[in-house]
Amino acid sequence: MDVTGCDAVFAGSIPEFYDEYLVPLIFEPYAEDLARRVANLAPAQVLEIAAGTGVVTRAVARALPGPVDLVATDLNQAMLDHAEAVGAVRPVRWQQADALRLPFADASFDVVACQFGVMFFPDTARAFAEARRALRPGGTLLFNVWDRIEENEFADIVTHTLADVYREDPPRFLARTPHGHADLNVFVKDLAKAGFTAAPHCETITARSRAASAHVPALAYCQGTPLRSEIEERAGADLAEATAACAAAIAQRCGPGPVDGRIQAHVISIENV
């Protein structure tokens, strides 16, 4: 499972747009779900990989009872800087780290969690192997991934709209990376390659994505993800014009006022037996 290098770059103003618009739009419901699952495992040490701007970190910090060591890592220092600036309700060790080369000793954590990050790993099996190495026997790897783009309404509208705006070279980041790895069989195989021997548990969760106006999801996707770089690289419509076109398309589908769209993701957990 490979992605282009630029797909994993969240820099410049992207972290701020991501946290302000995309997090409440699509990430918060799944962050709360993942945090509940982590808390139900009653861990003493938790590692989060691909923590981004810290939406899951903050949810886990709220959900965990008592003293728990919580380490949050991400490849992108800019995302971690923003996460640390926002902070959490309990102490968190924020640390830049590559999921393919985790800087932690063997058997250090009871839970390794990852929200919507595995799609960005250039070698998923290797990242899973690193997570297994960092897990104690009996520990759990817990992660989620987006379902197909057709099951995620706003992302689908944005992708189709931009295909009309840039007909010769449509930006495909959303379909290629966040929503391009919905085949759970691939993850099952990569978990086995990584050395996990237990059967993974997979669950599909549907939720609703709500915003005050069509402009919010258009801004979130066009300017709060690496889709922004793809738009800015193309001739023709500029970033503002592309964002406006997406907002108009969402309003046409969902109405001129508050908007509401379907989102769907898979949650996978596996024990390190």
Predicted structure pTM score: 0.92
For residue 36, count other CB atoms closer than 10 A to its CB: 12
For the sheet with 135-146, list strands across it. 93-96, 69-74, 45-48, 109-115, 135-146, 259-271, 201-211
Rg (CA), the chain: 18
Average confidence (pLDDT) over 74-99: 94
Query: CA dist 66 to 22, 62, 114, 141, 212, Å?
Result: 30, 10, 22, 21, 37
Non-local (6+) Cβ contacts of 110 within 8 A are 41, 43, 44, 45, 46, 135, 136, 138, 139, 140
- Find the largest Cα–Cα distance for the chain: 56
- Locus of tokens 């970190």: 57
Q: Where do the domains of the chain lie, and which CATH numbers do they carry?
A: 5-150+174-208+263-271 (3.40.50.150)
Residue 13 is predicted with a pLDDT of 59
Angle at which helices 239-254 and 215-223 cross, to 10°: 140
Q: Distance (Å, rounded) from C-alpha 86 to C-alpha 74?
A: 15
Does residue 188 register a pLDDT over 50?
Answer: yes
Residue 256 is predicted with a pLDDT of 87
pLDDT band at 2 (very low <50, low <70, confident <90, very high): very low
Average confidence (pLDDT) over 250-260: 95
Residue 66 is predicted with a pLDDT of 83
